[in-house]
């Protein structure tokens, strides 16, 4: 069974605010993070720079807010199912009006208790892959696209479907308000060397590479991937593993010529051709209009999509942090079945979702929902049946 990982680092709950703050300070924080990773005496988080709370000296652009909410409210998405009982919003958040920069967002409320439930900001990686096309339409959003590329069906395990009480996290106060911040990273690429060697070991431990090739990799690709012999061993690894979906090694591939465009999708059985349906849907002018988006060709990724991050890679990286273990490894449960495994380190929780591919909620929607619900409540996932 393939395990993919979901790493919980800090804690995160509020969202647009987080995004704005991250923008203003991201270079500072990135520098600090890189320094803390490379120095022997990493700075403690409480010595990090103060967040900017004064409007005047802030570099953050906050434009007039009047009428934005009403303007961004979605009447209905084309082809959405009957009986939608929550509000949806989408549009642009201006980041820098002089440079003409804005971020597109899609926001879905909970059907109930929407003002007290935590706000989750979901960002896909890639880098450069769409959080709308992947996150919202293929993973955790309220709808999935049918194979006709025109209509939607309901995701019963959508993350806006729940009642969450936040109990703990990192308090952040700015602009006269306070938020509890929680941060969770799925399939985190932590360091490039560990990721590559972890990927190759993952193939070997899943009976997709020969012992000889794996031994050659460990002989020639240490401490880096630069030698000619290492290059040859990696080519051999590729030839041995064949053509398969690197994002979910046991998933079927998409056969475009076999698409039945009059069938309805199922949340329990992720369709390997989903990218095609989402691409068709998000490129319909009426859909772009309903989302209040500028009409243009929509692409799923604008960058290099080399984000394959297996559980072995994450373990190698986390092991290199040498963090003490606070909660020993245990299986967690959903529906009387193992949903995955979890181990709690000091300051970091490592959790896997059993049987999931890279896009975790697509393949294991119920297990993913159980995990995020525990996470939002500041708890480890359930230890027992039921």
Ligand X SMILES: *[C@@H]1O[C@H](CO)[C@@H](O)[C@H](O)[C@H]1NC(C)=O
Taking the C-alpha atoms of 26, 325, 311 and 338 in order, what is their torsion angle to the nearest 10 degrees?
Answer: -120
Candidate residues 41, 176, 177, 269; the one interacting with ligand X per rule CB under 6 A: 176
Task: Report cis status (omega within 30 of 0) of the bond before 23.
Answer: no
113 binds ligand X (CB under 6 A): yes
Instruction: Look at strands 143-145 and 101-108 and give their pairing.
Output: unpaired
Candidate residues 55, 57, 59, 269; the one interacting with ligand X per rule CB under 6 A: 55
Residue 121 vs 276, nearer CB to ligand X: 276
Residue number of the CB atom closest to ligand X? 163
Residue 59 vs 176, nearer CB to ligand X: 176
Specify the stretch interacting with ligand X by CB under 6 A; choose among 193-201, 205-213, 260-268, 290-298. Answer: 260-268
Specify the stretch interacting with ligand X by CB under 6 A; choose among 78-86, 261-269, 305-313, 337-345. Answer: 261-269
261 binds ligand X (CB under 6 A): yes
3-state SS assignment for residue 164: coil
Candidate residues 28, 35, 94, 112; the one interacting with ligand X per rule CB under 6 A: 112
65 binds ligand X (CB under 6 A): no
Specify the stretch interacting with ligand X by CB under 6 A; choose among 35-43, 51-59, 99-107, 265-273. Answer: 51-59
The pairs formed by 325-328 with CB atoms below 8 angstroms and a separation of 24 or more are: 327/380
262 binds ligand X (CB under 6 A): yes
Candidate residues 52, 109, 148, 245; the one interacting with ligand X per rule CB under 6 A: 148
Residue 35 vs 53, nearer CB to ligand X: 53
Residue 63 vs 386, nearer CB to ligand X: 63
94 binds ligand X (CB under 6 A): no
DSSP state string for 37-95? HHSSSPPPGGGSPPPP--TTT--------TTHHHHHB-S--TTPPS---S-EEEEEEEE
CB of 84 to ligand X, least distance (A): 16
Annotate each residue in 216-245 with x if it binds ligand X (CB under 6 A) or - if it does not, as one string: ------------------------------
Picking from 361, 362, 153, the residue whose alpha carbon sits closest to that of residue 370 is 361
Helix 192-205 × helix 311-321 angle, to 10°: 130
Taking the C-alpha atoms of 345, 364, 152 and 129 in order, what is their torsion angle to the nearest 10 degrees?
Answer: 50
Helix 211-220 × helix 228-241 angle, to 10°: 150
Q: CA 313, CA 306: separation in Å to the nearest integer?
A: 14
Please report, as ranges, the residues that interact with ligand X according to CB under 6 A.
Answer: 53-55, 112-113, 148, 163, 175-176, 260-263
């Amino acid at each position: 069974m393939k395990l993919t990982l979901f790493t919980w680092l800090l804690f995160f709950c509020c969202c647009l605010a987080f995004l704005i703050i991250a923008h203003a300070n991201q270079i500072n924080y990135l520098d600090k993070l890189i320094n803390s990773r490379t120095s022997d005496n990493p700075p403690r988080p409480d010595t990090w720079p103060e967040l900017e709370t004064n409007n005047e000296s802030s570099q953050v652009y906050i434009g007039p807010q009047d009428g934005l909410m009403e303007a961004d409210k979605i009447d209905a998405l084309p082809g959405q199912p009957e009986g939608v009982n929550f509000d949806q919003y989408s549009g642009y958040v201006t980041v820098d009006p002089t440079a003409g920069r804005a971020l597109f967002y899609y926001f879905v409320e909970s059907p109930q208790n929407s003002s007290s439930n935590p706000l989750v900001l979901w960002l896909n990686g890639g880098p450069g892959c769409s959080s709308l096309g992947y996150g919202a339409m293929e993973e955790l959003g309220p709808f999935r696209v049918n194979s006709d590329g025109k209509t939607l069906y309901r995701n019963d395990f959508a993350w806006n479907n729940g009642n969450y009480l936040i109990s703990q996290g990192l308090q952040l106060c700015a602009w006269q308000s306070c938020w509890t911040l929680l941060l969770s990273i799925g399939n985190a690429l932590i360091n490039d060397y560990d990721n590559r060697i972890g990927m190759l070991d993952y193939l070997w431990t899943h009976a997709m590479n020969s012992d000889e090739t794996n031994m050659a990799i460990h002989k020639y690709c240490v401490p880096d991937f630069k030698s000619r012999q290492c290059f040859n061993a990696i080519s051999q690894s590729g030839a041995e593993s064949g053509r398969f979906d690197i994002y979910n090694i046991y998933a079927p591939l998409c056969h475009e010529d076999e698409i039945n465009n009059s069938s309805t999708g199922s949340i329990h059985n992720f369709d390997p051709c989903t990218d095609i349906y989402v691409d068709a849907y998000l490129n319909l002018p009426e859909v772009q209009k309903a989302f209040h988006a500028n009409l243009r060709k929509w692409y799923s990724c604008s960058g290099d999509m080399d984000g394959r991050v297996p559980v072995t890679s994450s373990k190698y990286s986390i092991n290199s942090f040498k963090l003490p273990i606070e909660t020993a490894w245990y299986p967690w449960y959903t529906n009387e079945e193992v949903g995955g495994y979890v181990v709690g380190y000091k300051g970091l929780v490592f959790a896997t979702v059993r049987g999931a591919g890279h896009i975790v909620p697509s393949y294991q929607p119920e297990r993913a929902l159980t995990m995020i619900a525990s996470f939002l409540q500041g708890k480890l996932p359930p230890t027992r049946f039921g």
